[in-house]
Structure 1
Amino acid sequence: MFDGKTVLVTGATSGIGFATAQRLLVEGARVVAVGRNAQRLDELVRLGGDAVMPLAFDLTAFARYQETLAAVPALDGLVHSAGIVENNPLRFFSLETHQRIVAINQTAPLALVAELARGNKLNTGSSVVLLSSILGAHVGIKGTASYAGTKAALAAFARVMALELAHKGIRVNCVAPGMVQTELVDQLHQLSDEALQADRARYPLGKRYATAQEVAAAIRFLLSADAAFMTGQTIVVDGGFTAQ
């Protein structure tokens, strides 16, 4: 349980971030919810009431980090779930697209943890969880070099941050899912239902994608005292996909 604990969740209004925020609220946490979907933020407020602190903040507005985060209470946990997925194949490589992906997926989590650490916003014994992916660190997909690179970088970030923050008892870990059945997948209109079903069949455990709640469960574990001696690690949640 997370009674009395405060956790900041980025990307809290969609997919894995929303599922994580929901679970933490049910278990008694106070959640600082960073997200852009006002309707989903309202849902979290209805669920958690005063336990939800909505924070409308553009994570790529790096010049505003110090000012914005000064209003955030001391944290017992941080979950960085915000991110974007865009194809950027070599033949049509766009530097603008690449920089946009890097800004939110890679620079934002590094800048966020750095600012929270400098501002003494991470309590002793707190836990940071970065949402990585099997894409980049374990597998490759054509056209995704920009995205895959940012996700692979998070595992490296976690190892280095874990060493830099260990003296304060702060842990830093990653969760690396395979495909997850979220709104993003539901909106993949460029793929036929048959193509999606064939891809799901490649996942040994159940021939399906993970649910957001299953990934949130792994995040919850890393935030909890049950993972008190784990830091600098990555937990893969992919139904056996990378075991093949």
Structure 2
Amino acid sequence: MANTKKVQDKVAIVTGGASGIGEATVLAFAENGARGVVIADIQDEKGQKLAESIGANRSTYIHCDVTDENKSNPSWNLLFNSTASSTHHELWSANYSRPRPGLIRQTVCNKRSWCCSMPEARGACDGEGVKGSVICSSSTAANLVASTVTDYIMAKCGVVALMKCASYQLAYYTKSQLIPPEMANAKKVQDKVAIVTGGASGFGEATVLAFAENGARGVVIADIQDEKGQKLAESIGTNRSTYIHCDVTDENQVKSLVDSTVQLYGQLDVIFCNAGVMSFGQQTVLDFDLGLLRQTVRSKRSWCSSMPEARGACDGGRSIICTASTAANLVASTVTDYIMAKCGVVALMKCASYQLGKHGIRVNCVSPGPVATPMVCEANNMGVEELEKLFVSICCLKGVLKAKHIADAVLFLASTDSEFVTGQNLMVDGGYAFQGAVN
């Protein structure tokens, strides 16, 4: 992992890069192969020293007041906008509830200016278009309430809202980025032991292969598709992968699977709760039953209850990842049971992440967009190519969303790259959830 070059040959700007989170990010970019890192700040002495410590051939300090939109750079692939200010104003009391707009305007305007400059910048090009990434520093305060600091909280909520709008509006200028060979060869789950439910096909199969390629010592494929599961385990090698028949709706089978895994490999570090069913019924709120909701949530809950009892790696850092769906963020005229079930999975994940944190267990969701998996193709009675053409037309980003993209997200959530990430629902949908955007 130490030798992984995650931003190989990329050029990045880091605003507020002379200290704090910005400085840490500058050093991370430099250590991970960036060809150039521009440190933008108003702390000249600190910024220049940091650039010199990296090397003048790979890092430059530029004095920049990010509230001035005339400041820009013509060639970059990555932007981390970490410049911020804090506030200690007591902006609310029984007699005063009007926030001061200065900080809000200043914060949102400096983020907006960078979003505007991205399409004009010349990024790395693979012949199909510009690829780039804008990352903005927000704050957990955007999800909280407080008796004071109203301007700060409003400003951070504004940054989140700007990010969501920009991700939809700038999709035309970006595409899914190819993973450099150095990153592809990283061993992100080195020596870990994982269970993947629904692991014989679709997202599960892609994740099983990703875990095996990234150094997992043992990958247990849990499914009811015996032939497919056994073939997949054999293709990896029986010394590193095992297939176990498991119906995840049966809590006794789940417990037995966990016990068998620990007995086989001596530990359990990662569970990808991926097994599920689809619903294409015409149920509405007037006539649906709770069968699918009950079945889906119960199958995920059993994994959360079994993980604390399993013995994990001695260095800690165990992880549960549940497959939810972008459907949890949408509305529909039918399939009410399916949408409710996926919302239930997200809610369960949030509660579990809080309750299992004391055990050193992180819990997150990955929410896939439309992917032409075998189950989806069968349910729609359509071929892969036909479905993918349809899905491309309803996603914002260029390219085709594949099972491997979901597996990469799961790999991130299972690895130490996300060691302080818990309680999150990672949407991997190419902007599909924006289909209801107001035009």
The TM-score normalised by the length of structure 1 is 0.87
Unaligned runs of 5+ residues in structure 2 are 1-186
| Structure 2 counterpart of 1:22, from 206, 209, 214 | 209
Aligned twin of 1:116: 307
| Structure 2 counterpart of 1:140, from 326, 331, 348 | 331
Secondary structure class of the residue paired with 1:127: strand
Say which is worse superposed, 67-76 or 152-161, in terms of deviation.
67-76
| Structure 2 counterpart of 1:34, from 222, 225, 228 | 222
Give, in angstroms, the shift of residue 75 of structure 1. 1.0
Give, in angstroms, the shift of residue 25 of structure 1. 0.8
State the AA in 1 paired with 2:352.
M
Aligned twin of 2:317: 125
Question: Which whole-Å CA distance do the structure 2 matches of 1:144 and 1:207 have between them?
Answer: 27
Are the equivalent residues in 2 in contact too, given 1:221–1:227 (CA < 8 A)?
A: yes
Are the equivalent residues in 2 in contact too, given 1:84–1:104 (CA < 8 A)?
A: no
Secondary structure class of the residue paired with 2:426: strand
Give, in angstroms, the shift of residue 202 of structure 1. 1.2
User: Counterparts of 1:143-154 in structure 2 under 5 Å?
Assistant: 143-154=334-345
State the AA in 2 paired with 1:125.
G
State the AA in 2 paired with 1:11.
G
Aligned twin of 1:107: 298
Structure showing the higher helix proportion among its residues: 1
Aligned residues: 238
| Structure 1 counterpart of 2:274, from 63, 75, 81 | 81
Secondary structure class of the residue paired with 1:221: helix
Say which is worse superposed, 9-18 or 160-169, in terms of deviation.
160-169
Find out whether 1:72 has 2:261 as its counterpart: yes
State the AA in 2 paired with 1:78.
I
Aligned twin of 1:206: 398
Q: Pick the structure with greater CA Rg.
A: 2
RMSD (CA atoms) = 2.4
The TM-score normalised by the length of structure 2 is 0.50
Give, in angstroms, the shift of residue 61 of structure 1. 1.7
Are the equivalent residues in 2 in contact too, given 1:83–1:104 (CA < 8 A)?
A: no
Over 3 Å counting, the alpha-carbon distance change for 1:195 and 1:115 in structure 2 is closer
Aligned twin of 2:354: 163
Over 3 Å counting, the alpha-carbon distance change for 1:191 and 1:35 in structure 2 is closer
CA deviation vs aligned residue, 1:103-161 (integer Å, no higher than 9, x gap): 542210111221232x234553101111110102x112332111111111121111111
Question: Which whole-Å CA distance do the structure 1 matches of 2:299 and 2:379 have between them?
Answer: 26
CA deviation vs aligned residue, 1:75-128 (integer Å, no higher than 9, x gap): 111101100002232369464xx41x23542210111221232x2345531011
Question: Which whole-Å CA distance do the structure 2 matches of 1:67 and 1:184 have between them?
Answer: 26
Are the equivalent residues in 1 in contact too, given 2:233–2:242 (CA < 8 A)?
A: no
Structure showing the higher strand proportion among its residues: 1
Give, in angstroms, the shift of residue 220 of structure 1. 0.3
Secondary structure class of the residue paired with 1:53: strand
Secondary structure class of the residue paired with 2:423: coil
Over 3 Å counting, the alpha-carbon distance change for 1:213 and 1:194 in structure 2 is closer
Secondary structure class of the residue paired with 1:19: helix
Aligned twin of 1:236: 427
Percentage of pairs with the same residue: 24
State the AA in 2 paired with 1:18.
E
